[in-house]
Amino acid sequence: MSALAACSLLSPPIREEQAPAAAPVPVEPPKPQYAPPIGTHRFEIDAAHDDVVGQVQVTISSKEDTLPDIARRFNLGYEEIVRANPGVDPWLPGAGKEIVLPTQFVLPNSVRQGIVINIAAMRLFYFPPTKPGEKQVVYTHPIGIGRVGWQTPEGATKVVSKQKDPVWIPPASVRKEHKENGEILPARVPAGPDNPLGKYKFTLGWPSYLIHGTNKPYGVGLRSSHGCIRLYPEDVEKIFAMVNPGTGVTVVNQPFVFGWHDGELYLQGFDVLEDDKRDWSKSQPKLLSKTLSKRIQTELANRKATVDWQRVAQITKDPRGLVLSVSTPERSEDVVIAAAPRVENRIPQGANWDGADDPALQAQSDVKVMVQEQQQAPRS
């Protein structure tokens, strides 16, 4: 009996089974905070000293976005946003992709009054009249320009008249081209969604050339017209309200534009237009020297500063449309983009567009056709 008792004393105690410990709940990392987007179309400048307006920004694409969607949201054109984002599919950028917004601009080397258009930049600048003591204001918007073979002219003219809900009377040359392509254009196109002039037009002193809206808004930022200058519908409406007959219009072709900002010299580069007759490949240094305004040259001398021409050559070889310093060369594209504010992917406060569109206007899919036509156009 004692032996049995000893055995029972030596047996291990019975333990109750315990439930396995609960797996830790994963903690999602905090979502990055993005700032509100910065306005992209109206700026105040010190006209005597400043040549640069705006700021480069970066936003994040959504699953549904295309680059043309984002471009219009931030008042950019097709070529501007595609050029600034090499390697990004314009039609399927994908969710969570960082998209560079080239919303900083060097003002053209030109007069600063009335309408100034840089066809190489595919951008319009409007300098309204100012009163003594007032700061100069500039409005800027992307534009569509004439296709190869239908170049937008350069030079000075003026607004002769303006009209709401215009009728389009296609020139004989345009009707002939359409006929050769199997399309019969009527002699008169009434106001409405089929009218390529959109809802507003300015008649210029140059016969047959206009500044107008469009029924193909996603073609803004492309060489998509017969020489006229196209604006987004929301932009031409605002310009129409501000600009009156008699306003001067200056058109320049400046693929490389220098300007001062905060004591530094900057350069913004664009693709040279296919029909630009200047030989930029062989005569680039000479041509670029000519683009330096007398004021910039004077300031260079006064500041005892120099242009880093090696840096200039790098920028002009493969331009992305970003405003880059050529007096502080360590500020590379990567540095500028890294320092740019990360902003919400939405229309900036105070923008002309409210995000809505007339359902009668032609679809974004038309842009693909325009892009293909532009890429297939003969180069002169």
Q: Residue 188 corresponds to which tokens in the numbers above?
A: 């008169």
Q: Residue 353 corresponds to which tokens in the numbers above?
A: 């567009």
- Give all strands (DSSP E) within the chain, no chain letters: 42-45, 52-54, 57-60, 98-101, 104-106, 114-118, 123-127, 136-146, 155-164, 200-204, 210-212, 223-225, 229-231, 248-252, 256-261, 264-269, 323-325
DSSP 219: G
Using CA atoms, how far apart are residues 180 and 177, in angstroms rounded to an integer?
Answer: 5
By the 8 A CB rule, do 368 and 90 touch?
A: no
Residue type, 120: A
Q: Are strands 210-212 and 229-231 parallel, antiparallel or unpaired?
A: parallel
Q: Are strands 223-225 and 136-146 parallel, antiparallel or unpaired?
A: parallel
Catalytic status, residue 49: no
Three-state secondary structure string covering 237-256: HHHHHHCCCCCEEEEECCCE
Residue from 41, 141, 226, 228 carrying the catalytic annotation? 228
Catalytic status, residue 228: yes
Q: In angstroms, what CA-CA distances link 323 with 52, 126, 168?
A: 8, 20, 38
Cα torsion through 233, 86, 33, 37, rounded to 10: -30
Residue type, 194: D
Residue from 41, 141, 212, 226 carrying the catalytic annotation? 212
Q: Catalytic site residues? A: 212, 228
